[in-house]
Amino acid sequence: MKEEGLIRAVGVRGLAAGIVNYTIGAGIFVLPALVAVKVGAAAPIVYVVCAIAMALIALCFADIGSRVSISGGVYAYAGVAFGSYVGFMVAMGMWISMIIASAAVAIICLDSLGQLIPALSGSAARAAIIVVLYTVLFDVE
């Protein structure tokens, strides 16, 4: 009888799952660890307070979403209440915060990669990887 062994191959789906796992791992495990370093033993309290604040914000979005019938997200919500200029400023603020959040996860991924491959921990290598990463991810044709 021939003994079966493990197949040592990673396909496209496996590679994609690994990348998603790495990104989520950076967001779920590394970011809370950094918060714990900054605030110490109060980290669980900080997370509970943030969870309550996020729940209130989500409830506000749900309420305003039921009252404003036009599309446009935060731009429409703030625009209806305060005018188009405030709507624009709120939408731009949200857009910038999303970019900063994405950059934070990218930096944490690069820090972890730099631990594995020390040659990639320099400033020039990190900048090049980030430029290539975002160019590949956001290449629109």
Instruction: Determine the structural domain holding residue 88 and report its residue range.
Output: 12-137
Has this prediction a pTM greater than 0.75? Answer: no
Token pair 């188009």: residue: 84
Per-residue pLDDT, 139: 63
Q: 112: helix, coil or strand?
A: helix
Q: 40: helix, coil or strand?
A: helix
Asked whether residue 126 is domain-assigned, the answer is yes
* Cα separation, 48 vs 52, whole angstroms: 6
Asked whether residue 3 is domain-assigned, the answer is no
Q: 69: helix, coil or strand?
A: coil
Asked whether residue 123 is domain-assigned, the answer is yes
- DSSP state, residue 79: H
* Cα separation, 132 vs 105, whole angstroms: 15
Asked whether residue 2 is domain-assigned, the answer is no
Regions in the chain scoring below 70 on pLDDT: 1-8, 10, 22-23, 25-27, 139-141
Per-residue pLDDT, 141: 57
Per-residue pLDDT, 126: 87
Q: How many domains does the chain have?
A: 1
Write out the two tokens for 103: 């950059």
